Amino acid sequence: MTRMTDLELELKSVRYRRAILKYIRHANAGHTGGSLSCVDILNVLYNRILRISPDTVSDPNRDRYVQSKGHSVEALYVVLADRGFFPESELETLCRYKSRLIGHPTRKVPGIEMNTGALGHGLSISVGMALAGKMDKASYRVFTLLGDGELAEGSNWEAAMAASHYKLDNLIAIVDKNRLQITGPTSVVMNIDPLANKFNAFGWKVREVDGHSITDLTRVLSMPPEPGVPTVVIAHTVKGKGLSFMEGDPKWHHGVPNDEQYQQAMQELEHQEREILAKMAMLEKNRLNA
Amino acid sequence: MSAPAPSVFSELAQQYIHRLGLAPGVPNLDAYSRTLIDLASKDPRIVVVTSDSRGSGKLTPFGEKFPDRHIEVGIAEQNLVGIAAGLAAVGKKPFATSPSSFLTARAVEQIKNDVCYSDVPVVLVGISAGVSYGALGSTHHSLHDIALLRAISNITIIVPADNVETEKAVRAAAQAEHPVFLRFGKAPMYTLHSENVDFKPGRAIRIRDGNDIAFIATGEVVVHCLLAAAYLEEYGVKARVVSMHTIKPLDIDEILAAGKSCRAVITVEEHSVHGGLGEAVAAVLLQAGICVPYYIVGIPDEETVTGSQADIFRHYGLTMESLAEKALLLLGESVGILSHQVGSK
């Protein structure tokens, strides 16, 4: 596969956002805001970083990805379908009677490693996977995506302690720090800041990144780990990113757009798509002229 | 010098132990540790995960023999189970070992989601279960563990009654492709079975036959039922004793056979009378339309009395004498023949 350009991935992100809204609306259920805040991270992970493909879902040496913030499953399903782990048409069955596309991740879906959704579980599971990798001297890495709200669960800090105790430099945790949870701002509900200091104090290497910048995410997620130290990437994100009326509004935590809102969302995304296509056309023109 | 721990067995019960020729064994935990070391020397997938519980889990020798395969997580049961699930998901066979009280209550969500719902082959080992911790009190008693786990889908629950059942249960758990819970106490066990007893998870073992009354029991109290059966025989009562070592899946055929053949059924467990073996067996019988005099012996729904395991067993009737008395009451026989021997409880 030829490496896609940053603009091509940006275009993918717009299309992922469109699909997320389409299928959430179709299912009349879903965690809209959090899916939109983490979809650029998933885009970079699945299209650039993770050594996993539909052909290697059972390969013992595949990279593992555990989505601890399981409620943002719509973003994960859309990205997995785009990468060919299951047919895109199956997204029509999201949350429907007897569908395997449940409202939180399960291993019934190709490409999903663990059943998650109750918060504060993914980091311990990932520590277990990374420990096994160390025991077996395996080459795979373990990535997990955490929400900032879920960091109030104490189990995360049990796992954080164990990760540095066991020197798990094959573990990369990413925090989707969108600063909102269902009740309101995380700083008001239960403040987790200063988050970098907390992870530092637990013995982790902390990297911070703009969680919507394809370029930045690629750069930071490609960095080799510090030997013997687990890495946390604090991704600064916006809940509801990409839709003007959703950004920063906690009511979109699991809001489903009505007809009018959906039309507006599609128009905004179409505008974003046109802008990216125009940039791509200009670059192509410059390349031909050069 | 501290006073010797009171025996769970009265002097009379010890006479019956002698008459039945029951050989003393070791605590089931020692049998667990021994078996696991043997298995681990042949199966490199086996690892042990502990939460500052290697000593109480008798796993210090395992850690000495296989230092790289013993993962210590500190006092953090949620992390214990989550890590075990992660290990199992990538091909290890973890035995997550921790006091049953904390393992099953503190980490119940990890058990439910990370292990059972995700369907990874973790073996959860609840140690010092029931009232093994005696006078340490209710914080340390696990009288809820079976009830909690029964309500969770996709886990086999095994409570061995002696060292033989323990060894075979550990071997079966090591081969299992789905989650398993093993429950052990601390006390030394008498050996109830021969080495070649046919042990299969989900299939109860009938230790003694009889058609007057059936004792259906699980775990370390099975021996008291066996003694009670021998005691009752002297008074012409033929009691059946069933070791229901697997609580899930239950051996329905053996329960129905007891309900159909015997005039009364008593279940016995070192667990709350709510949500354990007794209610499970009752549900099987009632749904099959079998209604016999029935009694659930366990720890009642109250703050458990202070004392050693032996004190607690005596207080709540988990003894040979008390079980025999219950049997006679249930059968409607006179208890006069026993009144000179049975304690006041």
Mean of the per-residue pLDDT values for chain B? 94
**HEC letters along chain A:** CCCCCHHHHHHHHHHHHHHHHHHHHHHCCCCHHHHHHHHHHHHHHHHHHCCCCHHHCCCCCCCEEEECCHHHHHHHHHHHHHCCCCCHHHHHHCCCCCCCCCCCCCCCCCCCCCCCCCCCCHHHHHHHHHHHHHHCCCCCCEEEEEECHHHHCCHHHHHHHHHHHCCCCCEEEEEEECCEECCEEHHHHCCCCCHHHHHHHCCCEEEEEECCCHHHHHHHHCCCCCCCCCEEEEEECCCCCCCCCCCCCHHHHCCCCCHHHHHHHHHHHHHHHHHHHHHHHHHHHHHHHC
Say what angle helices B11-20 and B222-233 make with each other, to 10 degrees: 80
Domain that holds residue B132: 25-191
pLDDT band for B7, please (50, 70, 90 cuts): confident
Domain with residue B128: its CATH number is 3.40.50.970
| Distance between CA atoms of residues B329 and B10, nearest Å | 21
In a domain, B111, yes or no: yes
| Distance between CA atoms of residues B27 and B186, nearest Å | 6
CA dihedral (A29, A34, A39, A45) positive or negative: negative
A chain contacts of residue B84, beta-carbon cutoff 8 Å: 128
Assigned token pair, A87: 């047919």
A60 interface with B at CB cutoff 8 Å: yes
Confidence at residue A290, expressed as pLDDT on a 0 to 100 scale = 81
Question: Do B157 and B268 lie in a common domain?
Answer: no
pLDDT band for B4, please (50, 70, 90 cuts): low
Nearest to A66 by CA among B80, B124, B83, B74: B83
Confidence at residue B345, expressed as pLDDT on a 0 to 100 scale = 38
Confidence at residue A3, expressed as pLDDT on a 0 to 100 scale = 80
Instruction: Inform me whether the pLDDT recorded for A235 exceeds 60.
Output: yes
Residue A213: Cβ within 10 Å count: 17
A chain contacts of residue B109, beta-carbon cutoff 8 Å: 118, 121
Mean of the per-residue pLDDT values for chain A? 97
Domain with residue B256: its CATH number is 3.40.50.920
Residue in B76, B82, B117 closest to A128 by CB: B82
Question: Do B30 and B172 lie in a common domain?
Answer: yes
Could you report how far apart the first and last alpha carbons of chain B are, in Å?
A: 30
Per the CB < 8 A criterion, the answer to whether B22 and B189 are in contact is no
* DSSP of B79-117: HHHHHHHHHHHTT-EEEEEEEHHHHHHHTHHIIIIIIII
Last residue of a domain, one of B161, B191, B221: B191
Per residue in B138-190, pLDDT (tens digit) is 999 999 999 999 999 999 999 999 999 999 999 999 999 999 999 999 999 99
Q: Pairing mode, if any, of strands B205-208 and B156-158? A: unpaired
Confidence at residue B344, expressed as pLDDT on a 0 to 100 scale = 40
**Number of folded domains in chain A?**
1
In a domain, A80, yes or no: yes
In a domain, B3, yes or no: no
Residue B21 DSSP SS3: coil
In a domain, B298, yes or no: yes
A chain contacts of residue B88, beta-carbon cutoff 8 Å: 128
Q: How many CB pairs below 8 Å do chains A and B form together?
A: 101
**Number of folded domains in chain B?**
2
| Distance between CA atoms of residues B69 and B64, nearest Å | 10
Contact A131 B87 (CB under 8 A): yes
Q: What is the pTM of this model?
A: 0.95
Share of chain B above pLDDT 70, in %: 94
| Distance between CA atoms of residues A126 and A114, nearest Å | 10
Contact A128 B78 (CB under 8 A): no
Beta strands in B114-199 (DSSP E): 123-127, 156-158, 180-183, 188-191
Contact B73 A128 (CB under 8 A): no
In a domain, B217, yes or no: yes
A chain contacts of residue B82, beta-carbon cutoff 8 Å: 121, 123-125, 127-128, 155, 159
Beta bridge partners of B272: B299
Domain that holds residue A38: 6-289
**Which of residues 140 through 159 in chain A touch B, CB cutoff 8 A?**
154-155, 158-159
A128 interface with B at CB cutoff 8 Å: yes
pLDDT band for A134, please (50, 70, 90 cuts): very high
Per residue in B63-119, pLDDT (tens digit) is 999 999 999 999 999 999 999 999 999 999 999 999 999 999 999 999 999 999 999
Say what angle helices A155-165 and A122-135 make with each other, to 10 degrees: 20
Assigned token pair, B144: 């809820």
Residue given tokens 């990144």 in the structure block? A209
Domain with residue A198: its CATH number is 3.40.50.970
Residue in B78, B91, B119 closest to A158 by CB: B78
Contact B82 A121 (CB under 8 A): yes
Backbone angles phi, psi at A56, to 5 degrees: -120, 20
In a domain, B321, yes or no: yes
| Distance between CA atoms of residues B213 and A274, nearest Å | 82
Question: Do B42 and B171 lie in a common domain?
Answer: yes
Residue B141 DSSP SS3: coil
In a domain, A103, yes or no: yes
Q: Pairing mode, if any, of strands A180-181 and A184-185? A: antiparallel
Question: Do B46 and B20 lie in a common domain?
Answer: no
Last residue of a domain, one of B191, B217, B250: B191
Per the CB < 8 A criterion, the answer to whether B314 and B345 are in contact is yes
Per the CB < 8 A criterion, the answer to whether B181 and B155 are in contact is yes
Residue A69: Cβ within 10 Å count: 30
In a domain, B4, yes or no: no
Question: Do B332 and B304 lie in a common domain?
Answer: yes
Residues of B with CB under 8 A from a CB of A: 47, 68-69, 71, 73-74, 76, 78-79, 81-92, 94, 109-110, 113-114, 117-119
Instruction: Inform me whether the pLDDT recorded for B342 exceeds 60.
Output: no
Last residue of a domain, one of B135, B168, B191: B191
Residue given tokens 């299928």 in the structure block? A23
In sequence order, what are the residues at sequence separation of 6 or more whose Cβ sits closer than 8 angstroms to the Cβ of residue A76? A42, A67, A105, A112
Confidence at residue A2, expressed as pLDDT on a 0 to 100 scale = 64
Nearest to A180 by CA among A188, A172, A170: A188
Question: Do B42 and B128 lie in a common domain?
Answer: yes
Confidence at residue A112, expressed as pLDDT on a 0 to 100 scale = 98
| Distance between CA atoms of residues A55 and A52, nearest Å | 8
Instruction: Inform me whether the pLDDT recorded for B333 exceeds 90.
Output: no
| Distance between CA atoms of residues B234 and B338, nearest Å | 11
Question: Do B224 and B184 lie in a common domain?
Answer: no
Question: Do B113 and B212 lie in a common domain?
Answer: no
Interface pTM (ipTM) of the complex? 0.96
Question: Do B31 and B178 lie in a common domain?
Answer: yes
Per residue in A154-193, pLDDT (tens digit) is 999 999 999 999 999 999 999 999 999 999 999 999 999 9
| Distance between CA atoms of residues B42 and B175, nearest Å | 12
Q: Pairing mode, if any, of strands B239-243 and B205-208? A: antiparallel
Q: By CA distance, what is A144's nearest residue in B?
A: B86
Confidence at residue B2, expressed as pLDDT on a 0 to 100 scale = 52
Instruction: Inform me whether the pLDDT recorded for B339 exceeds 80.
Output: no
For residue B200, the Cα-to-chain-centroid distance in whole angstroms is: 15
Could you give the angle at the alpha carbon of A263 between the alpha carbons of A258 and A267, nearest 5°? 145
Question: Do B127 and B166 lie in a common domain?
Answer: yes
A107 interface with B at CB cutoff 8 Å: yes
Question: Do B237 and B104 lie in a common domain?
Answer: no
Nearest to A239 by CA among A43, A39, A1: A39
Share of chain A above pLDDT 70, in %: 99
Per the CB < 8 A criterion, the answer to whether B32 and B129 are in contact is no
Instruction: Inform me whether the pLDDT recorded for B3 exceeds 60.
Output: no
In a domain, A1, yes or no: no
pLDDT band for B226, please (50, 70, 90 cuts): very high
Question: Do B118 and B200 lie in a common domain?
Answer: no
Instruction: Find the radius of gyration of the CA atoms of chain A.
Output: 19
Average pLDDT for A49-68: 97
| Distance between CA atoms of residues B48 and B59, nearest Å | 8
